[in-house]
Structure 1
Amino acid sequence: MELNEAIRQIKDKGYKTTAKRKDILMFFAEANGYRTAKDLIAYLESLYEGISFDTVYRNLHLFHEVGVLETTELNGEKHFRFSCTPYHHHHFICNDCGKTKELEICPMEEVQRSLGNYAIQDHKFEIYGLCPACQ
């Protein structure tokens, strides 16, 4: 997803695109991979003195809800990134730098076969390790 598309998507859902929201989106547009709320706050503090944690978290969750940001959990902490594609996919995530690589496979067909008559409602599949640059 690119910045202008994210802004349009937020407007289409009936939300305002304030300067702070645009700066939050810019942060993720420039990031290559998942970032934490702490990373975002450090970035925003240089632009907005005394920015509140509530403002940051409220916007992160709003952007996730409207589909602009994807989320994952790494080391017990929620991480966010721009939604990269509108179709079903999974990622390799670097434990060191947070960069991601989209995977072209989904193991769910195999899982559904092995679970037989279980009703699967959702799934999440991620692989963690070190990217070539961080090895």
Structure 2
Amino acid sequence: MDINEAIELLKEKGYKTTGKRKEILSFFADADGYRTAKDLIQYLESSYDGISFDTVYRNLHLYNEIGILETTELNGEKHFRINCTHHHHHHFICKDCGKTKEIKVCPMDEVEQALADYAIEGHKFEIYGRCPGCKLALT
């Protein structure tokens, strides 16, 4: 999803597209992977002195709820990224820097066979580790 699609979705759902909301979208559009609320607050503080945690969290949860952002739990903290649902895929997520790499393989064919009598309503498949840059930094 790009910024213009996200803005249109906000408008369709009846939400205003303020400068702050657009700046939040820009932050995630430019990010290479998942980012935390703290990352966003640090980014916004230069433009919005004294921006509140409540404002940031409220917008993050709104964006997640309407499908602009997707979330994952990493190191005990919620991380966000622009939703890239143009096609079905999964991610490798670097535990150090949050960068993601798309994984084109999906284990659901095997899982559906193993759970043939079950009604599967959704799934999420993520692999965690260190990207080449972070792995190199450890050595």
Q: State the TM-score bracket (shorter-chain normalisation).
A: over 0.9
Residue correspondence of structure 1 range 54-133 to structure 2 within 5 A = 54-133=54-133
> Aligned partners of 1:34, 1:10: CA distance in 2, in Å?
21
* 1:32 paired to 2:17: no
What CA deviation, in whole Å up to 9, does each residue of 1:87-134 have, x standing for no partner?
322101111111111111111110121223222222211001111222
Structure 2 portions without partners, runs of 5+: none
> Aligned partners of 1:26, 1:120: CA distance in 2, in Å?
35
The DSSP-based 3-state class of the residue aligned with 1:134 is helix
What CA deviation, in whole Å up to 9, does each residue of 1:13-47 have, x standing for no partner?
22110011011111111110000001111111111
Q: Which runs of 4+ in 1 moved over 6 A?
A: none
Instruction: Supply the RMSD in Å over aligned alpha carbons.
Output: 1.2
The DSSP-based 3-state class of the residue aligned with 2:16 is coil
The DSSP-based 3-state class of the residue aligned with 1:70 is strand
When normalised by structure 2's length, the TM-score is: 0.90
The farther-off stretch of 2-11 and 99-108 is 2-11
The DSSP-based 3-state class of the residue aligned with 1:79 is strand
> Aligned partners of 1:102, 1:88: CA distance in 2, in Å?
10
> Aligned partners of 2:116, 2:26: CA distance in 1, in Å?
45
> Aligned partners of 2:116, 2:7: CA distance in 1, in Å?
43
Letter in 2 for 1:27: F
Match of 2:2 in 1: 2
Letter in 2 for 1:93: I
> Aligned partners of 1:63, 1:57: CA distance in 2, in Å?
10
The aligned length equals 135
